[in-house]
């Protein structure tokens, strides 16, 4: 499988501040690649270099085998881009804006724009200036996908979208993958990446510290669990359960953290009458910390 995106020792300095520090990245054709990291890790800097919005200090980047600078407009017509700070303004309607953007990309059928707008509950007759942040973000999603580009580059794409629209967005990503398109998506939302990505790259201080299959990521992710029992439970019942830590028992209530498979915890819970179980989304910061600790251990070695 060929690489659609490749970077080698990619470095970007902002004066004395380092944005990227030798980033080596490979994104394969036809995959959904999740790009995870906290604010300031280098995700948006990477995307802007790939789009030739900024230039690297050193190192190399290529998209479809070409440098972003040399590829020019012909290369960018093969891309769909949604920035994390997508902004639109003016007195035109949503339909007029999307039609104009479609024309710039070689023409997009009006039916395609209408279908996507309906899917995202977007009123194409509304004036841009009257739209909420969430509706402007919907325009960003539609304009990125509407010309069915070979490569979608999405920077925090679901910011401002309500949960139902987020799910529709993930369905659109899945359809793009089925159609053979490549998706490179930065995100802070672990559950979003887990639902949609094939592989995940975790970036720290401008360097890639791990590349994992999504199943591996799930096994390492830490979930917070709350179990409400019918009767008080003994404190020792969950002390040595595989994958369970930070156990707190208060009368009829168990709070703990679960890493990896839930089999051991479920077997331990099943010994007592259960009223309710709540499992929170994996904690992204704890996941980063787990990988960063591993990277620091490697650096020390």
pLDDT digits (tens, 9 = 90+) for 99-156: 999 998 888 999 999 999 999 999 999 999 888 989 999 999 999 999 999 999 999 9
pLDDT digits (tens, 9 = 90+) for 163-214: 899 999 999 999 999 999 999 999 877 777 888 899 999 888 899 988 988 7
300 within a domain of the structure (yes/no): no
Q: Are residues 246 and 103 in the same domain?
A: no
Kindly write down the DSSP assignment for every residue of 38-101, as one continuous string. -TTSSHHHHHHHHTTSS--SEEEEEETTB-HHHHHHHHHTTEEEE-TT----SSSBHHHHHHHH
The Cα–Cα gap between 271 and 230 comes to 12
- Residue positions counted in the chain: 301
288 within a domain of the structure (yes/no): no
242 within a domain of the structure (yes/no): yes
Q: Are residues 249 and 179 in the same domain?
A: no
Q: Are residues 228 and 156 in the same domain?
A: no
pLDDT digits (tens, 9 = 90+) for 139-154: 999 999 999 999 999 9
293 within a domain of the structure (yes/no): no
Q: Are residues 117 and 236 in the same domain?
A: no
Q: Are residues 14 and 131 in the same domain?
A: yes
CA 4 → CA 29, 31, 75, distances in Å?
A: 5, 10, 12
Kindly tell me if the per-residue pLDDT of 45 is higher than 50.
Answer: yes
From the list 74, 78, 50, the residue with the least C-alpha distance to 63 is 50
Q: Are residues 38 and 123 in the same domain?
A: yes
297 within a domain of the structure (yes/no): no
Torsion angle, CA of 285/37/211/207, rounded to 10 degrees?
-120
Q: Are residues 243 and 135 in the same domain?
A: no
- The number of folded domains in the chain is 2
Q: Which residue has the higher pLDDT, 181 or 216?
A: 181
Q: Are residues 162 and 245 in the same domain?
A: no
Q: Are residues 254 and 116 in the same domain?
A: no
Choosing from 165, 183, 218, the residue where a domain stops is: 218
287 within a domain of the structure (yes/no): no
pLDDT at 41: 86
123 within a domain of the structure (yes/no): yes
Choosing from 173, 193, 218, the residue where a domain stops is: 218
pLDDT at 39: 80
Over its C-alpha atoms, the chain yields an Rg (Å, rounded) of 22
Choosing from 195, 218, 241, the residue where a domain stops is: 218
Q: Which residue has the higher pLDDT, 271 or 295?
A: 271
The Cα–Cα gap between 214 and 195 comes to 9
Q: Which residues of 68-78 are buried (b: 16+ CB within 10 A; e: fewer)?
A: beebeeebbee
CATH code, 67:
3.40.50.300
Q: Are residues 185 and 276 in the same domain?
A: no
Q: Are residues 162 and 274 in the same domain?
A: no
Q: Are residues 58 and 146 in the same domain?
A: yes
Residue-range definition of the domain harbouring residue 98: 3-218
CATH code, 267:
3.30.70
296 within a domain of the structure (yes/no): no
């Amino acid at each position: 499988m060929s690489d659609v995106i490749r970077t080698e020792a990619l470095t970007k300095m902002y004066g004395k501040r380092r944005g990227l520090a030798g980033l080596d990245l490979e994104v394969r054709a036809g995959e959904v690649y999740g790009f995870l990291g906290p604010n300031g890790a280098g995700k948006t800097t990477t995307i802007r270099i790939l789009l030739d919005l900024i230039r690297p200090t050193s190192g190399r980047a290529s998209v479809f085998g070409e440098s972003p600078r040399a590829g020019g407009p012909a290369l960018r017509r093969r891309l769909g881009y949604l920035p994390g700070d997508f902004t639109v303004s003016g007195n035109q309607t949503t339909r007029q804006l999307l039609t104009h953007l479609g024309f710039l990309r070689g023409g997009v059928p009006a039916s395609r724009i209408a279908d996507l707008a309906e899917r995202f509950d977007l009123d194409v007759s509304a004036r841009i200036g009257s739209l909420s942040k969430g509706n402007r973000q919907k325009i960003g999603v539609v304009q990125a996908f509407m010309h069915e580009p070979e490569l979608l580059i999405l920077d925090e794409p679901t910011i401002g979208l309500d949960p139902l629209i987020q799910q529709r967005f993930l369905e659109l990503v899945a359809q793009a993958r089925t159609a053979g398109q490549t998706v490179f998506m930065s995100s802070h939302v672990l559950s979003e990446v887990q639902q949609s990505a094939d592989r995940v790259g975790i970036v720290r201080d401008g360097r890639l510290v791990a590349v994992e299959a999504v199943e591996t990521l799930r096994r390492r992710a830490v979930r917070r669990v709350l179990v409400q029992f019918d009767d008080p439970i003994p404190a020792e019942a969950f002390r040595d359960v595989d994958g369970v830590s930070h156990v707190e028992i208060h009368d009829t209530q168990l709070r703990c953290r679960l890493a990896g498979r839930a089999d051991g915890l479920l077997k331990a819970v099943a010994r007592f009458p259960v009223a309710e179980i709540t499992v929170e989304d994996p904690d992204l910061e704890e996941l980063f910390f787990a990988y960063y600790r591993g990277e620091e251990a490697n650096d020390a070695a």
